[in-house]
Amino acid sequence: MVTMQDVAAAAGVSLSTVSYAINQNRPISDATRSRVLEAMSRLGYTRNAAARTLAGRRSHVLALILPPSPEGFGATIWQFVEAAATRAESHGYSLVIWPFARQDAAKVQRLVSQRLADGVLVMEIFLEDARVEALSAAKVPFTMIGRTSQLTGRSWVDIDFDAAIDTALERLAALGHRHIALLNHSAASVDAGYGAAIRTRDAFVAQAARRGLIAHHLPCAETALAGRQAVGQLWGLDPAITAVVTLNETATIGLMAELARRGWQVPGDVSILGLATSPAITSMSLPALAALQAPGAALGGAAIDQLVSVIDQGPEVTSSDADNRPDRSRLLPCSFISGDSLGPASLASAKPSARSTTDQPTTTPKERKSTP
């Protein structure tokens, strides 16, 4: 099946330019439009009939479904949102937010039935997600930032969590760390099947085992207070932990604050490596947090590009086509940002740190450390 990406490549233009040429929702030069139309004719590209019908009564609005958060949204989430809004505008669309939780399928159905938006972007995806099922049943064009367990025929972009964990463990193992913990999202998120938390946990456990590392997984609520409390919980699990990988950026702030309050040195007593974080989190940490930063801007923009493509092509895809459609699925890597929170495991064993002034724990991790 010929896609809009094929047309764009043949015409030597961007995907958005092909969309403008087809829908005439943004001005482009006659020469560019002619080049796009010629490429469409040469490749035999035709739009889905349902998409043409929908195009005749478009609202030029895209909806972003984002679950409400009592604790507020982290900086990484807003990176996605801001990038998506900017890219939507470049395609001639406005972006509105629909604050629906995973279980709010009825609310999603009600709004999509009113045709208030031409397409829907869904964030914070769970492996089994009623919002996504409602959109699929309504045959509404949609794209996910994240992935459900069933992907056939669905459009999605996601962070490559497997690759991020591989990079994190490779760097930590090279520094001599053998006992490593993952500070994840909350137990409620893990139990509910939040995709990012599940994929990261599974990759962490499997890849640590492959490397012969001692791995510990700790779910943690998305608050700074929970991050502070995690200090006692982590070293209660294993006094020999020398490194923590954190997927929970709000809890990371509390974790590092509590380590400092107890007189533990980072990276002298423990190395900290953020995962899928934003630049704002890495810059506000003391010491500066080493991190695998989330591709927030790229992810938000790519999701909108795919959603516009789905709108133009029609939401339905046959199972035989679904696995070979580059416009329907994409994994984006995190980028490693060096910081002052990583160091060799041997640093702590060579130099004992100051004792904590609190009653629990009464010693630093290295004073209680056992030999692996």
Q: What is the mean pLDDT of residues 350-370?
A: 42
Q: How confident is the model at residue 240 (pLDDT cuts 50, 70, 90)?
A: very high
How far separated are the first and last CA of the chain, in Å rounded?
55
pLDDT value at 209 more than 90: yes
Structure tokens at 78: 């807003």
Q: How does DSSP assign 49-60, residue by residue?
A: HHHHHHHTT---
Q: Which CATH architecture has domain 161-295+336-368?
A: 3-Layer(aba) Sandwich (3.40)
Predicted local distance difference test score (pLDDT) of residue 81: 87
Identical fold, 4-46 and 161-295+336-368: no
Instruction: Give the predicted TM-score (pTM) of the model.
Output: 0.75
Residue partners of 352: CB distance under 8 A and separation at least 6 = 364, 366, 367
pLDDT tens digit string along 94-131?
Answer: 999 888 888 888 888 888 888 888 999 999 999 999 99
CA distances from 27 to 21, 135, 148, 162 (A): 8, 31, 37, 42
Q: Say yes or no to pLDDT of 358 above 50.
A: no
Task: Count Cβ neighbours within 10 Å for each residue of 57-88 and write b for 16 or more, e otherwise.
Answer: ebeeebbbbbbeeeeebbbbbebbbebbbebb
Instruction: Tell me the pLDDT tens digit for each residue of 273-318.
Output: 999 988 777 777 789 999 999 998 899 999 999 999 998 876 554 3
Give 366's DSSP letter. G
DSSP per-residue letters across 270-315: -EEEEEEE-HHHHHHSSSPPEEEE--HHHHHHHHHHHHHHHHHH-S
The pLDDT of residue 75 = 64
Q: What is the mean pLDDT of the chain?
A: 83
Tell me which residue has tokens 């003391």: 286
Please determine, for residue 331, whether its predicted confidence score (pLDDT) is greater than 70: yes
Q: What is the pLDDT of residue 71?
A: 59
- Whole-angstrom Cα distance, residue 303 to residue 87? 9
In the CATH scheme, what architecture does the domain 4-46 have? Orthogonal Bundle (1.10)
Length of the chain measured in residues: 372
Residue 351 predicted with pLDDT over 80: no
CATH class of the domain at 59-159+296-332: alpha beta
Rounded to whole angstroms, how far apart are CA atoms 304 and 192? 27
CA distance 203 to 211: 12
Among 120-124, 167-171, 191-195, 349-353, name the one with the lowest average pLDDT: 349-353
Using CA atoms, how far apart are residues 143 and 169, in angstroms rounded to an integer? Answer: 31
DSSP 354: P
Q: Output the pLDDT for position 326.
A: 45
Alpha-helix residue ranges (DSSP H) falling in the chain: 4-11, 15-23, 30-43, 49-55, 75-90, 105-113, 130-137, 161-174, 187-192, 195-211, 224-237, 249-261, 279-284, 296-313, 319-322, 346-350
Question: Which of 63-77, 112-126, 256-270 has the largest mean confidence?
Answer: 256-270
What secondary structure letter does DSSP report for 194?
Answer: B
The Cβ-side half-sphere exposure at 106, using a 13 Å CA radius, reads 0
Cβ-count burial 315-335 (b if 16+ within 10 Å, e if not): bebeeeeeeebebbbbebebe
Where along the chain do its domains lie? 4-46, 59-159+296-332, 161-295+336-368
Confidence of residue 360 (pLDDT cuts 50, 70, 90): very low
pLDDT in tens, 140-161: 999 999 999 999 889 999 999 9
